[in-house]
Amino acid sequence: MESRTTDNLEQVLLASEAVIARERARQMTVLAELDRRQVALMDGCRSMTEWTASRLDIAPETASMLV
């Protein structure tokens, strides 16, 4: 990393964020379909947010932003 320029590191960071954003968008699409199928209720969860947080091992706040 030390051999990279600051500009290059910023470009790497932005490219990484673009990948994350695309994957989050895909997750949101899949979660919407799972919600439509009421998977959370079938698994005994109180909400899709609760189901998502437990399934993806993420904070409830993060799960809430996805569903």
Neighbours of 55 (CB within 10 A): 16
pLDDT digit of tens for each residue in the chain (67 aa)? 899 999 999 999 999 999 999 999 999 999 999 999 999 999 999 999 999 999 999 999 999 999 9
Q: Is residue 1 part of a domain?
A: no
Structural domain including 62 reads: 6-66
Q: Is residue 58 part of a domain?
A: yes
- pLDDT confidence of residue 11: 98
- pLDDT confidence of residue 49: 98
Q: pTM for this structure?
A: 0.84
Number of domains in the chain: 1
Q: Is residue 12 part of a domain?
A: yes
Buried b (16+ CB within 10 A) or exposed e, 19-45: eeeeeeeeeeeebeebbeeebbeeeeb
* Cα 11 to Cα 19: distance, rounded to the nearest angstrom: 13
